Amino acid sequence: MRVYLVRHGAPEGFETQRFIGHLDVPLSPRGEAQAAAVARRLAGVPLAAVYTSDLQRTRRTAEILAAPHALAPIEVPALREFAMGDWEGLTAGEIRERDAAAFAEWMARVGEFQFPAGENLVQVAERVWPAFERIVAGHPAAAIAVVAHGGSNRAILCRALGMPLARILALGQDYAAVSVLERHGQGWRLDALNEDAGAP
């Protein structure tokens, strides 16, 4: 079994580098082009299904990716990004101005940090990983695509590879990048990490 783990394309306003979290923002024109590049990259893969979080930036990416396969993406809300609470919609600079101590704590303790009025990484992994396991259990000998977010994809990769969640930022997850997990017995092997699909 192979899982093509895809991060959504660049959303509107990506250049501001705001913390988006659960904010439901659409893809930007650049994100649309990136999603089309992923679709071309995976066009020859015999995908059995495409799964996506329920936020529109992932849904649209999944729709574009799934079209060459005549598949309808299946929404799984548990694949959503971190809930970043009070920080959603703010830039790093704005957060530092409001609460420098909390921002410093996030940088120092990313594996344990609790976003104000949001989630921590353990909570994200506890909702994302069981959803991922349910998805793959339905396709024991097939190739599937899972379109999600930087945080949720990293949580899946950490659990699949047996890495501590504190090392989550060591796993690159650029917009519209593709990572590939292959099932080996009861475990997983990483065949590709954060591959650029070659968007213009």
Task: State pLDDT tens for residues 142-198.
Answer: 999 999 999 999 999 999 999 998 888 889 999 999 999 999 888 999 999 999 987
* pLDDT value, residue 13: 87
Average pLDDT, the chain: 94
Residues 6+ apart with CB under 8 A from 93: none
By three-state DSSP, how is residue 195 classified?
strand
User: Which helix (DSSP H) or strand (DSSP E) does residue 143 occupy?
Assistant: strand 143-148
Judge whether residue 59 has pLDDT over 80: yes
Judge whether residue 11 has pLDDT over 70: yes
Which of 86, 61, 65, 73 shows the shortest CA–CA distance to 149? Answer: 61
pLDDT band at 200 (very low <50, low <70, confident <90, very high): low
DSSP conformation letters of 24-88: -PPBPHHHHHHHHHHHHHHTTS-EEEEEE-SSHHHHHHHHHHHGGGT-PPEE-GGG-----GGGT
What share of the chain in percent tops pLDDT 90?
A: 82
Which of 11, 3, 1, 35 shows the shortest CA–CA distance to 129? Answer: 3
Asked if 195 and 178 count as a contact pair (C-beta separation under 8 A), the reply is yes
Q: What phi, psi does 132 have (nearest 5°)?
A: -60, -45
Lowest-pLDDT choice from 2-6, 78-82, 111-115: 111-115
* pLDDT value, residue 111: 79
Judge whether residue 109 has pLDDT over 90: no
Residue ranges of domains in the chain, CATH in brackets:
2-195 (3.40.50.1240)
Can you tell me the distance from the alpha carbon of 17 to that of 88, in angstroms, rounded to the nearest whole number?
A: 11
* pLDDT value, residue 20: 93
Token pair of 86 as six digits: 């009070």
Across residues 120-132, what is the average pLDDT? 95
